[in-house]
Amino acid sequence: MSHPYDPNAPAGQPGTPDGAWAPPQGGAPPQGGAPGAPQQQPTKSGAKKWLPIGGAVVAAGVIGIGSLTGWFGAGASEVGDCIQTQGTTDYEVVDCGADEAQYKIVGIDDQEMTYSEFEAAPAEDFCADFFEETEYVLWEGTTETEPGTIYCAASV
């Protein structure tokens, strides 16, 4: 059987019989079905979905714990704070008008040292600038093996 020749008709693609369909040059036919059908988007794995959420939760936890334990300076004492001692090595900041207030921080010693250095040093080595007022000396730090701050306190 013969086909009529039309000079204005597009020519067939090389290697295909006249009129046969061939994929466009430069690429394969679209994945996921017939030409023109919508493409399916790849789904994220469980780990890829939860990683950003988990990271945000961990970051919030670190910030929350840090603010409670004083990592970010939130728990550090300041001059003017009143304290109540709790045992021989611990204290808490209290309202200066409260009955529990025993001492008021009147100054901060210039030197910083570990807790073991603080314990070994004579009391006369601390709070020289606040000598007349100081009745109680406190050490505050994040760990006993790192340098901490020395506070000078007077009775309320």
CB-CB contact of 103 with 135 (8 Å): yes
Do residues 151 and 137 make contact, with C-beta atoms less than 8 angstroms apart?
yes
Beta strands in the chain (DSSP E): 82-86, 90-94, 103-113, 136-140, 148-155
Asked if residue 21 is part of any domain, the answer here is: no
**Residue 151 pLDDT greater than 50, yes or no:** yes
Q: Which long-range contacts (CB under 8 A, 24 or more apart) does 116-119 make?
A: 116/144, 116/145, 118/148, 118/150
Percent above pLDDT 70 for the chain: 52
Could you tell me if residue 29 is inside a domain?
no
pLDDT of residue 4 exceeding 50, the answer is no
pLDDT per position as a tens digit, 28-45: 555 555 566 566 666 655
Asked if residue 58 is part of any domain, the answer here is no
| Number of domains comprising the chain | 1
Q: With a threshold of 0.75, does the pTM exceed it?
A: no
**Is there a domain that residue 11 lies in?**
no
Query: Closest Cα partner for 156 from 86, 108, 111, 96?
Result: 96
Residue 84 has pLDDT above 60, yes or no: yes
**Domain range for 138:** 82-155
Residue 142 lies in a domain: yes
* Residue 12 included in any domain: no
126 and 84 Cβ atoms separated by less than 8 Å: no
> Rounded mean pLDDT of 84-110?
92
Q: Classify residue 95: in a domain, yes or no.
A: yes
Residue at 121 is within a domain = yes
